[in-house]
Each structure stands twice: as C-alpha cells, then as structure tokens.
Chains A and B, each alone.
Chain A
Amino acid sequence: MADAIVIEGLTKRFGRLTAVEALSLRVASGSVHGFLGLNGAGKTTTIRLLLGLLRPSGGRAFVLGHDCQRAGLLARARVGYLPAELGFYADMTGREVLRVCARLSGAGVTATRQSSLLDRLRLGRGDLARRVGEYSTGMRRKLGLVLAFQGDPALLILDEPTEGLDPLMQGVLHTMLAECRGEGRTVFLSSHVLAEVDRVCDRVAVLRNGRLVLDASVEEVRALAPRRVRIAFSGEVPAPVRLPDGVRVLAVGPSEWELEATAAIGALVQFVGRLPVADLEVSERRLEDVVIGYYREPAS
C-alpha cells in the first residue's frame, strides 16, 4: 500500500530561524504514527506544511499521493485535522461551528456519523447550544475531535489530541484511534504524552531542533529501553564485583540490589541463581526511557 505521507527534504525557515531542516519521513497507510519532540522542535510547523498553511522554504511533501502545495485541495479533501489550539470564535455556538465546518468539508458529513461521534465524546444538545467561549478546555478539544473525525477521513492529523481531556475521554479517543487503524485509516499524531504514544502508535518519529533524530517502530524503540531489575535476598549477600555484560548497578544494599539491564536478562538470572533470591522484579520496557534520551541535545 502507498504511503499516506511522504516528506522529502522539507525545510522551513522563518527569517533566520530554521524551524524544520531537510526533514524526510514516510508514514505508512493504515498505521498510527507518533510525531514527537520538545516544544519548538518543529512538529506543528511540519503539520502546517503538510496542510498547506505554510509554504516550505525547500523540499516537498505529499499527502495521500497529492503534492501539498500544488494539489493541496485534493489532499485536504480526505484529511481530518485537529489543531493544537482551536481557533473557534467565542460567540459561536458549538452547533454553529459544526455546521460551518461540515459545509466547508469536501467529504459529505452525515448526521448519523456526527451524532455518533457526539454521543461517544459526550457532547450533548445542551452543550452544542452554548457559546464556545463558555466551553472548558476539554469540551473545546472534544468539539475539535468531532470536526476532525466527522468527514470519515482517510488520514487524521492530530496535534496534541488528548490535551485537556479527562482520563475517560482519553480512553474513548484511544479506542477510536484503534478503530481507525482497524479500518485502514492512517493517523499522524503529535503528542507530549509518551505513555499514550507507547500505547496507541505503531511507529514514532522524533524531531529535535527541526531535524529528524529517530524514526522507528515502537517495538524497535522499546527494545532499546533499559529495564530496572530489583532483587531481594533472603539474607545478606556481598556486593557484586562483576555483573554480566549489559547490566549495571543502580543501588546496592545488604539484602537488595537495584540494577539496570540494557541486554537480555538471561545471564543476570543465571548470575543470581546461586544467591538466596527471595524476590525478583523486572520493570516493563518503556518507550519514554528511550525517547527522552533523543530529546536531549547530544553532548558537544
């Protein structure tokens, strides 16, 4: 299947500032692709370039096979977008916002689809009759999600989708994203919540200072994560002199060791097998333990 997003050497400069530099990335159709980076890394700029809101200083980008600049209209007809900051007019009601955006959408927005989304995200008639200026952050986000999903788009571009949502609604959104993947839709998701990315994404790309520093599957990244191993002994044991390769000491007590394993822990299990082990606890590999490292500037 063709890639839903193809970015080739994309660069965006604002005066002297280079927000995105020579970015090349592919997002496979039917996948959920996380797009990560610190504030100012260039995530939102990249998304705005994909949507034709910004003009690139160099490079090209294709969305669903269409050049974002030359055939942006065709591309955007099948894209649902949730911006990080929702620019609703405060004096418009939720219902008016939905009506205007449905009229502007290329794909037909059916009343059934819209009302199903409103039900799932718990936006009632009373909420829609209120002015958007009176909405809480979470309600604005929910309205934005309905706008993004209501056209049944082939590609969803979501910028911080769970920002301001309560845990219940975050769960609903995660289910909706899983359904999208199941239906063969593509999701390109920018988020600061690494646990969420770990849970819903197939692949992640990390930007640092406008440059791509990591693009790999979540499984591959997770495999790089160190695991914490806590070993409790039934009596006092001497401090370890030499541990197996890929294992290092974090803390050592008379009857408890705390270790970090970057390699498979088979050798470690063998190593402690001759000691009076009372309990052994191994933490899960977490995406964020690796990704945080990519966020940091490399030591000069």
Chain B
Amino acid sequence: MRAFLALCRHSGRRFRTLVLGMSLVLGGFQVLLAAVADWLQRQSGFGQLAGLAPPAVRQLMGTSLTGVLSVSGVVALGYFHAAVEAALVVLVLAVAGELADEIGSGFVDLVLTRPVQRAAVVGRTIVGVLLAPTVAVGSMVLGTGLGQVLMADATESVVSGRLIGSVAVNLWCLIVCWGGIAVAVAAFARRRASVMGLVGVASLVTLLVDYLARAWQPMDRVAWLSPFHYFSPVELVMGANLGLRDVSVLLATGLAGMTVGMIVYLRRDV
C-alpha cells in the first residue's frame, strides 16, 4: 500500500498540469456554450439556425436537429463535440501510456527493483485512468452549472440537471472505456507513443464507423464494435433516458481492458 500511494503521488505530480489545464479549458468551454445558448435564446436565433441547415442535413438529422438546436442541445454540445471527445481520449491515453513509458525510459528499473509489486504499478495507472476523466468531466459539469448561473435566463434557458448528469456520465463511461483499452495496450508496449498512436487511430476509426453507421445502413452491422455506438448524447438531449446497456457495455469493456492490462503486466519482461 505504501508503494502504491508513493506511485500515485509521483504520477499525480507528473500529470497534474495536464489534467488541471485540460479541465480548466473544458470547463471554460462549457461556460462559453452556456453563454452562447443564452444569447441565441434571447435573440430567438435557434429557428434561424435550423433554417440555415442544408436540406441533406435536415433530412439526415430529422427531429433531432430541433433538439440539438435548442438551449439544451447547445449546452450539451460540449459533451459530444468531437474536439472535446478527442481531448479527453488523448488525456487518458497519456495517463495510461505512462505504464509503457516507464519501461521505455528505464524508470521502471528504479521502481520494480525495490519492494514494489507490479500490481501496484498497474493499479496506480488504473486509478489515474479513472481519476483524470472524473476531474475533467467534473470540471465540465461545474462549467455548465456556472455558465447557467451566470448567463441563463432563469425562466427559459435552464437545462435540467438530469440531462447534464446523463450526458456527463455517458461521456465519462466512454472515456473510461478508452482508458481501459489503453491500459491493455500499454501493458504490452514499451513506448507511450505506440500506445497513443495505436489507440488514437483505433478511436478515430471507430468514431468514423459510428458516424457512418448513422447515415449508411450497411455499416450498422459493425457499428456495435465501436465504443462510440454506446454514447448517445443526441438521444439524451431529445429526452431519452441514459441506457443501462450503453453504460454497462462501456464500463465492461473498460474493465476488461484493465484486467487484461493487469494480467499481461504481471507476467511480462520489463
């Protein structure tokens, strides 16, 4: 336990700037979105925006276009914007990649030649993979709340806490899922760049698969393989409940990745 806590402290120091910096930016983005939603609401701009959308987009999105082009939709946009998703995936890849980076740099020689269990090293990384998105998504929720308190018209523009909670939980599960996959890959690797490259490309491909599947029926057969398939923010904005299946699949995948990572790391040569 002593070694585990020492490792957590060490990694916490190494990642605090990245995690806190990113959390601040993402939280700030949420404040901005709340301000934009409030401004559009006061200018009655949502209807005009919907009118500007090309017919193809209107046909593709159907009724969900109205949902997205609303106060709730714009406020929730920060939780499913591709740039936000990419930033959070990169964050967990950086944290999980430490496992491989320590081997590549030789730092692991200083750690594992002391009375430190390998499980403590992986356990520390798993804690990081769970904690980093918690801080970042938590900061986004705080940003949303702060933005609404500061900007929103109290009678019309306040977005329900349930919606924000659902979208945030779904996003957190998605990022933890990628974190688990990254831990599994990092347990095999010797360099952080390999982990970031491999899992980064996988996340991009599966994101495209999910987007394509929404527009092109044949892709639907493989869409279930993409973790993004179980992230449904637009449906949540439209009033759906957070699906237990989505949460379960994402968390189970993340947990499976972490378990594989633990088993591999306990047995590998470093």
Contact = CB atoms under 8 A, between A and B. Distances in A.
Given A55-B267, A103-B6, A87 B108 contact: yes
Contacts of B10: 100
Interface string B1-13: 0110011011001
Contacts of A89: 14, 105, 107
Query: Which of A55, A86, A100, A106 gathers most chain B CB within 10 Å?
Result: A100
A33 interface: no
A262 to B, nearest CB: 42
Query: Which of A76, A85, A88, A89 gathers most chain B CB within 10 Å?
Result: A89
A53 B268 CA distance: 8
Contact of B109 (A55, A77, A87, A106): A87
A79 B113 contact: yes
Interface of B is mostly: helix
A232 to B, nearest CB: 54
Interface in A53-82: 53-55, 73-74, 76-77, 79, 81
B115 A105 contact: yes
Nearest to A55: B269
Nearest to B110: A101
Contacts of B109: 53, 81, 83, 87
Contact of A86 (B6, B13, B106, B114): B106
Interface residues on B, range: 20 to 34
Contacts of A103: 2-3, 6, 9
A104 interface: yes
A30 interface: no
B40 interface: no
A53 B102 CA distance: 13
A192 to B, nearest CB: 19
Contact of B106 (A54, A76, A83, A147): A83
B259 interface: no
Nearest to A144: B110
Interface in B146-160: none
Contacts of A52: 112-113
B107 A104 contact: no
B114 A76 contact: yes
A89 B116 CA distance: 19
B115 A76 contact: yes
Contacts of B110: 83, 86-88, 97, 101, 104, 147
B113 A53 contact: yes
Interface string A28-67: 0000000000000000000000011111000000000000
B257 to A, nearest CB: 23
B111 interface: yes
A57 B107 CA distance: 24
Contacts of A105: 114-115
Interface of A: 51-55, 73-74, 76-77, 79, 81, 83, 85-89, 96-97, 100-101, 103-106, 147
